[in-house]
């Protein structure tokens, strides 16, 4: 799964309408969130750093919820935007989730193990397990 990394408000206009997950590396305003959803009607999730997630307004959260868009917290570790505008979740993450399911682990146990193994946030792992 590819995550489009957006570093500034100005980049929102350059997004493709086919983006499914967008990581916002800046503190978005309500207007930024609305513009992003209009520009990318198929977006499934917004991924933002935890410090920024705490400052998202209740109205923006409600808007995202009404649109069926998950608000996920976390960082894109080690990503170099100057090299590639996308960060990618490797197939090995999905394979590991599948292996844990085949072992009979609960969703909660899988989430805990995957958070430790991947350094991804619990809500992001939960989102990936729904895919």
Neighbours of 88 (CB within 10 A): 12
CA distances from 45 to 21, 40, 53, 113, 131 (A): 5, 11, 13, 22, 12
Percent of the chain residues past pLDDT 70, beyond the cut:
94
The helices-and-strands tally (H runs, E runs) of the chain is 6, 5
Residue 98 CB partners (closer than 8 Å, separation 6+): none
Whole-structure pTM value: 0.85
- The Cα 84–Cα 107 span in angstroms is 32
* pLDDT per residue as tens digits for the range 19-77: 999 999 899 999 999 999 999 999 999 999 988 988 999 999 999 999 999 999 988 75
């Amino acid at each position: 799964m590819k995550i489009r990394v957006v570093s500034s408000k100005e980049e929102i206009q350059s997004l493709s309408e086919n983006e499914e997950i967008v990581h916002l590396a800046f503190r978005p305003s309500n207007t930024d969130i609305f513009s992003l959803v209009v520009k990318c009607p198929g977006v499934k999730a917004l991924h933002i750093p935890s410090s920024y997630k705490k400052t998202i307004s209740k109205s923006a959260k409600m808007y995202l919820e009404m649109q069926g868009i998950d608000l996920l917290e976390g960082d894109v570790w080690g990503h170099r935007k100057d090299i590639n505008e996308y960060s990618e979740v490797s197939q090995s993450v999905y394979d590991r989730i599948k292996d844990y399911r085949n072992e009979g682990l609960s969703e909660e146990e899988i989430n805990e193990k995957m958070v430790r193994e991947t350094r991804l946030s619990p809500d992001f792992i939960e989102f990936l397990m729904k895919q």
